[in-house]
Amino acid sequence: MCLATVQKESDNTVICKMVSRIDVDGDQVILRDIMGETKVIEGKILMVDLANSIVKLDCE
């Protein structure tokens, strides 16, 4: 299983760890972790590094 760490691009702040699913709905990025908890972030995906399991978001 490949789980991701989602970070804010501007300062590398960790938004969510052990993310198993990411959905995009317009300007919202919906993150779901391995425990099923959901976090909705206003922003957009800038980069996905599959080798290192890192996702960078442009968000406030």
Q: What is the pLDDT of residue 54?
A: 97
Tokens of 31: 């993150």
Q: What is the pLDDT of residues 15-45, one digit of tens each?
A: 999 999 999 999 999 999 999 999 999 999 9
Segment 45-60, tens digit of pLDDT: 999 999 999 999 999 7
Give the integer Cα–Cα distance in Å for 22 and 26: 13
- Token duo for residue 46: 């800038």
Residues 40 and 11: their CA atoms lie apart, in Å, by 19
Predicted model pTM = 0.91
Both tokens of residue 59? 């968000």
Q: Give the start-end residues of each E strand in 1-60.
A: 4-8, 14-25, 28-33, 38-49, 54-59
